[in-house]
Structure 1
């Protein structure tokens, strides 16, 4: 198994990212955390630790030094762009450092100096105000993957908790747009990426996929909409013809109770809330956002910047801890022959 550290990009420094990174490091022993290198601003992290009364030693470090330092100090790879320390008040001046941290994290994984990338939350608005041209974090990572690995990347979002993995086929779009955006090809492409990554990075030899219907009762034979019979069912048939263990379309209202969950490894859902409501209900503090379909492993906490509580010392690091552990497990699974 690989012994490389994980790379952790700082995210928006005005959010809760810095403090949950500090709090996670404090729990390194009790939670058996894998070693990680935080890509950020050491001065801001030290100031935030003092403000919150956290006893954390900060040490500037390289990836080669991170594992040895980790037990006694939080290793930090210093950014070229310093941050303005303004908890709860996002600043466009911090956009350059936020973007730099993501780019350097991807480069560390590309160069074989980090085992995987874990990202702390970013906020789109201050990035847009500074000229950021990507719709969001995941799209930026897909562009970086295409740039550095030389072939297009199709990123797929999976929310993974202890008892459920869900994948939305359409993500951040209005519900009214979903039927027009859904296609047999989009469902097949999404499910194929999920099956491939569950096998390569989660150690599941033949992943079982449950495909949700779009409409109530999965359309009930066409009486509640035509999409399930015209789009979803043909996609499931194609997946099965490809050798993928897929079942559906299934009524979404009966997919997520314990007995139903025991029958599959991941649920492929047709839209954002159909996937995220059950995942967050079952494991709000432990769910992890995993990006599938990239040539590198990326996980992140399944929450946002939480500007409203930033700097108050009440943010919980549980989802970050789960993201770090999942990234380590995925890297180890991928490294096995």
Structure 2
């Protein structure tokens, strides 16, 4: 297969969710140039029809053929191994066939990226219950891509970042119960997160980002009154990062640090990145600013991966109402990161 490193592979996500519809809408804009869909041809044709038609769906023999596809079509490479009856899985429902197909598309897109045949991948939303129904053992994209990128049996250290034009948050822990996440906040985990965030920032043109570290407890522990993780774990990790030349500071109270970091009109942010200890601590502030602008980025992989900041939205799947704005933002960010790599 000829190499086309300027291509971005866009996985269709869960066929029963809004992913295919947002992709169909993406291809009505200039942002889709240089993208190839890794998915099911029939599912994508249904999505195009649901969102107003007017676009042809081209079935490609190879992903590289997308480079020669006309601008008025959706180029789809259907990888082998997708369920033959996937189109029968109804929109808005959890279906094992959709979970299996979503996982297969992710596997094949990652393989393309690892071989250097695409510049990066953009993943449409998947449904964790559908994955589980299909027997897929990973709770989400981040963990699956980490395993796919493993070299010599060693998992690369990765972190999840959610970003928009005003705020960038990197998480120490992600898809696990809050009880388990607290135990997973260790000195090594916090220091590794700081290193990953610092190194990744260089890829988008910030060789010395200002990194704020949020505490775990209310008021960052209030000097140990509300918990001592800040004193025992987080502050020593911040100090170690600073000794390595990383511009880290904190821990700060998690209920105010995001306001300080937000970079908006008339309010220049004090920080470029915020490190949050748990999933909801870090993601609620970014999502509150608007899921249509947010982008999920997996840091630490040997290739670029972004995704929109929303889920499968089964409640509106099949209606054509899905908003593609976040997917377009994810494509734009993938291009920026791949160009800087």
Per the TM superposition, whether the score is higher than 0.5 is yes
**Offset at residue 34 of structure 1 (A):** 4.1
Which structure carries more helix by proportion?
1
Deviates more, 1:264-273 or 1:57-66: 57-66
1:305 correspondence with 2:302: no
Q: Which residues of structure 2 form unaligned runs of 5+?
A: 264-268
**C-alpha separation between the residues in 2 aligned to 1:209 and 1:50?**
45
Q: Is the 8 A contact 2:20 2:44 kept in 1?
A: yes
Q: Which residues of structure 1 form unaligned runs of 5+?
A: none
Q: Is the 8 A contact 1:286 1:322 kept in 2?
A: yes
1:281 corresponds in structure 2 to 288
**Offset at residue 264 of structure 1 (A):** 1.4
**C-alpha separation between the residues in 2 aligned to 1:111 and 1:268?**
31
The 3-state SS of whatever aligns with 2:27 is helix
Of 157, 171, 188, which residue of structure 2 is paired with 1:168?
Answer: 171
1:5 corresponds in structure 2 to 7
**Offset at residue 151 of structure 1 (A):** 4.2
The 3-state SS of whatever aligns with 2:296 is strand
The 3-state SS of whatever aligns with 1:299 is strand
**Offset at residue 94 of structure 1 (A):** 3.1
Q: Is the 8 A contact 1:179 1:227 kept in 2?
A: no
Of 101, 106, 110, which residue of structure 2 is paired with 1:102?
Answer: 106
**C-alpha separation between the residues in 1 aligned to 2:130 and 2:161?**
26
**Offset at residue 205 of structure 1 (A):** 1.3
Deviates more, 1:209-218 or 1:42-51: 42-51
2:216 corresponds in structure 1 to 214
TM-score between the two structures when normalised by the length of structure 1? 0.92
2:266 corresponds in structure 1 to none
Of 150, 165, 168, which residue of structure 2 is paired with 1:146?
Answer: 150
What is the CA deviation profile of residues 113-164 of structure 1, one whole-angstrom value per residue up to 9, with x for unaligned ones?
11001111111222222221223221111111005x7642122000010110
Q: Is the 8 A contact 1:15 1:88 kept in 2?
A: yes
**C-alpha separation between the residues in 1 aligned to 2:261 and 2:160?**
25
1:195 correspondence with 2:198: yes
**C-alpha separation between the residues in 1 aligned to 2:14 and 2:126?**
5
Q: Is the 8 A contact 2:95 2:133 kept in 1?
A: no
**C-alpha separation between the residues in 1 aligned to 2:230 and 2:105?**
42
TM-score between the two structures when normalised by the length of structure 2? 0.91
Q: Is the 8 A contact 1:40 1:79 kept in 2?
A: yes
Deviates more, 1:89-98 or 1:298-307: 89-98
What is the CA deviation profile of residues 276-315 of structure 1, one whole-angstrom value per residue up to 9, with x for unaligned ones?
1111112321100100011111101111111111001111
The root-mean-square deviation of aligned C-alpha atoms, in Å, is 1.9
User: Compared with structure 1, are the counterparts of its residues 16 and 278 closer, same or farther at alpha carbon in structure 2 (3 Å cutoff)?
Assistant: same
1:119 corresponds in structure 2 to 123
1:263 corresponds in structure 2 to 270
The 3-state SS of whatever aligns with 1:252 is coil
2:69 corresponds in structure 1 to 69
Of 173, 180, 185, which residue of structure 1 is paired with 2:183?
Answer: 180
1:38 corresponds in structure 2 to 37
**C-alpha separation between the residues in 2 aligned to 1:92 and 1:256?**
38
Structure 1 consecutive aligned stretches of length 4 or more whose deviation exceeds 4 Å: 258-261
Q: Is the 8 A contact 1:170 1:271 kept in 2?
A: yes
User: Compared with structure 1, are the counterparts of its residues 76 and 107 closer, same or farther at alpha carbon in structure 2 (3 Å cutoff)?
Assistant: same
Q: Is the 8 A contact 2:213 2:249 kept in 1?
A: yes
Count matched residues: 328
Q: Is the 8 A contact 2:171 2:278 kept in 1?
A: yes
Q: Is the 8 A contact 1:34 1:325 kept in 2?
A: no
